[in-house]
Structure 1
Amino acid sequence: DVTIDGKPATILDQDGQFKVLLHGRGKHQVSVAFQSPVHQQQGPPSVSFPIPRVAISEFELVLAGKKDITFYTGQHGILVQQGVSQGQSSGEVNSQFKDNATIGKAFIPMTDAVTFSWIDAIPKDLKTEVRANANIYHAISAEEGVLYGKGLVDYEITHGETSTLSFQIPVIAQVNRITAVTAGISDWTAEAKDEVKTITVFLDRKIKDNFQLQVEYEQLLGHQNASISATEPQSLEAIKVPLIKALEMHRQRGIVALLVGSELTLKPIKEQGVTRVGENQLPAFFRNQITQTIAHTFKYTSEMPQLTVETMAPIRKQGKYDAQVDTLISLGEVTMRGSAGIQIDVKSGTVLGLVFAIPAEVNVLNVTGPSLRNHKVTSESGTGESSLGKKGGQLIQVEFTQEMTGQFQLEVNYENILGDSKSELAVPTIQVNGAEVQHGRIAVEALTAVEVQAAKTVQLSTLEINELPQQLVLKTTNPILLAFKYVNSETPHQLNLKMTRHQELAVQVAAIETARYQTLITDDGLAVTTARFDVRNSRLQFLRLSLPQEADVWSVFVNGKAEKPANANNQTSNNADSQSGQKDILIKMLNSATGFPVEVIYATPIDKMGLFGSVTSKLPQPDMVVTHSYWDVYLPVGPNYQAVETNMNLV
């Protein structure tokens, strides 16, 4: 039925659409009554029909019973629920229940089709009810006197939303910390009753979907659990593992990981409602938070699992590691010194100690390294072949203060006393026992005048000097004479050196580059001499200066500082210089290759000058080589002086 302005109208069928004619200008009201089929084959009942493309279309629906009405516009299949939009324009449906019927109103934006669907309304109390599942992950470890637990409760909220969460733990456990990542925790309370403690956590907002709660707690060891019979074996040491139980969950299950601590580990002795699984069952987000070794893993699905453990000292398993040994061999007059840098690369596990093998005739000087507790040198037991291929070797046992991981380096310094008759020497090197792969490099230097050649090499390859690591080259300022490398094999490596000693020639260790003397002769019989030396010294302790027997030393300066000379004549009673009328003094020297000044002022009595005669004077004699000497003599004014007799060149 169609009416225009309240009057019946004629309906025209043109181009597959119904049309009516409007007469006159102005506003007209068109009322159309029609029927549309209700589709019930797929999903909830629905009705669809086209509408004119106007700015806003208002719809009022009346349905029998209490219904929840939804509609969608535009493309078919895009559903727009009340107050929720999924990519299309939507309007709000206002529904009310009256006289056992649901009346809904919707305002639809411009579109050319609309579909309405409805279902029976869900009671309000059921809409707000929370349904959730929980997966609970535990990491349990023990230290002296305390059992530590770290739990992660992974909530999966399937219906509703909530701002409070509750769980239970044994009453003897103490909660230390509760944290969450995706929401803030306003507060939490604990209420103890009987053997359990109920923890209620209040969040700062309502949550839905997934949510994780992290709980850290501890339990003192030594509390006798009432549920463990005193007649059971090891009941005094038995510990019931405190597990977290989430409250008001539709379903919950969990995993318990027992960890190996630094001092204690946990051994299961009673299992009820739990199943042993591999640690790969732990999800990555929880497994990555565990830094300790996992000893046992259990999974449970029941609400009342029980796991009883006892504490015991952990069984230490040595980790797997490789070793790189770089050794510098220094050949001296009477000793052969070795400085070995041992680089350890721990590939798996941890290392609490290492054992090095070294020949028996070697004296270990020191061992240094990070976190080193101590080291002990012992004789290798047994009379068979040692790890070095020789009988009766030594072992250096090294202990650390902590479990070592990754890469670290130790330094071992040792020496071997050389015999005078030995011309061929076996080079002592260090072998790292237990290393899966061991590489090494050996560099040889000479600290004295010896000629070194390789007499015998076994399992060694020559190495260019520039291929040595920088840290090995920087250990010495002497040139590297020989270099070798090796890898571990069934046949131990061996290096014998042929050493030819050469006699060292004496060299001048001190010299005076310039000696300047100034002598003032007075007419009353006194000669005052000032001697200035430019000295280079690398080894001598004293400068020995021979003066006339009657000389009186006034002052001595070395490098500008006053020094007190020592009388060398009182060392022996039969001193030849003393018998020859000379006075020897010792002046303390500096070790300096750049040169420094030495000044000595002394006075010698001579004969007084008369009407005629001669004046005689001598220079002091140093025990060093003098390159150039200059002597200036100052005489009194007045007398006529004849030719000068001297063994120096006059200028």
Structure 2
Amino acid sequence: MRRTMKVLTVVLFVASLASSVEAQQKPDDKGQVILSWDQFVKITGYDPAKGGPTMLSIPWKDVQDLLGVKVENVGNRTMVDLPWTEFKALLAWSMKRKEKPEESPPTDYIVTSSEYKGTLDDQKGDFELKLKLDVLKKQGWKRIPVLPLTVAVTGTTLPKGVYLNARDKVYELLVSESGAMEVTLTFSVAATKAAGVHGIDFQRVAAGSSVLDLTVAGTDVEVKVANAQALTSRKEGQKTRVAAHVPGNVALAITWQREIPKAPPVPAKLYVETSTLVAVAEGMLLCTETVGYNILHSGVRELKLRVPTGASVMTVSGRNVQDWRVSAAGELSVVLRGEVTGPYSLEISYEQPAADSVEIPVVRAVGVVRERGYIAVVALANVEITGGVASGAATVDVRRLPQQLVGMTNQPILLGYRYVADRFRIPLDIKKHGELDVLVTIVDAASFTAMQLSDGRRISRVIYKVRNNRNQFLRMTMPTDAEIWSVSVSGRPASPARDEKGSVLVPLVRSRASASELASFPVEIVFVETPKQAPETHGTLHVELPTLTVPLMQVMYTYYLPPEGYYPPVVHAAAFKGRLRPVQQFAMLASDERGREVYYNANAAAAQLQQQVDRRTQAQVRATGATPIRVRLPINGKQYKFERILVLPGDKLWFEMTYSNWKVAD
């Protein structure tokens, strides 16, 4: 039984013992096992009295405690026997198996700190470089670059196992050991001089940021270190001591020169040039002024200006404006987020009530050496502006005004002024004129297509090209006994209304802006006229057109008559009466949104009218449930064209013509 248990549990025992031993290894991890003698005897059963090789007997309970496992069906009194030599061999094998391979560090070394301590003179700079390194890689030789070959190394202090070597344009350390170490190198760098400025520069090879401790002879020396994140300078006896922090991956560049004495602080000097746009509206002057500063010597954070009496400041804008306010005395204070020097500008908008006579208000800068400015006057209303006799200012041609001022408005500039005096006065006389009514709706063209049936009915389709600014309706008076079939506005169906006088009101839309004018849109109306009595086989046709309340530029009326009848030729003007005249071709007055001439296609319009009549007839028949009857219009009949140019609001349009040989329908 014991022999069997020995064979089955020997590997588990050795693994457990190796784990116990690992917990007591030295920190240097060299594979040593440290046990007290009593612990060793208790665990192994070694008999020191016998000495030499012996058999070790270990209780199973202790084996379970060491392994940290529970094996079923094994008694607690079971012992494990193992020869001493085999125990040592298995123990060595188990410890070797438990050892983990050593991981390679992510980098061979780390520069924990680098300090350059130097003494500078006109010829050279002597430096001492102290490097603190932490070498992570344990096996093999390591190369650590420290200085460029452009410097002259004069001395070294190296720990054991560290050597200085020159290779690939750098000085490098050859290191065989690992762990923390400190290296000291002394070297010299030649100084340069140009325009009274001394300089030393070289490339830092060692990685990481650096601390500089520099000493320069003299107390009137100004030292600069390029890319330094912090630099302090102090006087020590007859020398100047400078400390600086330089980030990594940048060259070390040091310059020094005789310190220029600082000039005593002087007050700021301000020079101002203004550009003021004065827009004359109804009873109000709307002003926009650009105040351009040139600030010299010292920075300023607050700007003060004087607002004209009666003017109200609306907005103040400019770079880094924090706050602004106007006092009861009319002083405008503008507070900036920080001091400014050099060019700076403010834009101020303000307004002032205006009567028939008013002086141009200009916001003036306070506490400036010199101020000059330009003024432009424009009109935003129907007013007549004349300039009075100015004092302290001169009139200028508007073409000589600054381009910045001209670009502040799209309105024509009426008057221009220039001032340089501390005080000036520019009076304006404003005369208001009454406004005239202008057209808000106009019809560019009306294209009629009318079809005369032999039973006396007349079906007409008219397309008005309308330009509308703000009218709600197109008001018209329809011919007697006319019935409107359909109305569409800008391609969409519309529902007309009728006022108390019987006029038809067609709702309008507002024209879209196109280039410099409003674009026209179509208003289409289809209507039919039914006479009270049937026509004769011969007689006179009387045709009336709708009467509009807006101007109409051109009327084109295409009239189709039954083909069997006889009608007078167009050249016989005496056979026609009315306010429209017969023509061979229409005049080309109509145009589209782009200004191109629009040719009226009478045949296409007649075909569209035939389709509308068919749809109307079929809709009426479907409503009654009867068999549809197709109404044929005389689109192949005899065609006449009538025209009129310029129809004024309220003008009634009509014409008459004779006919004969009609076959009157029943």
TM-score, with length taken from structure 1: 0.49
TM-score, with length taken from structure 2: 0.48
User: Per residue, is there more strand in 1 or in 2?
Assistant: 1
User: Per residue, is there more helix in 1 or in 2?
Assistant: 2
Task: Answer with 1 or 2: which has the greater Rg.
Answer: 2
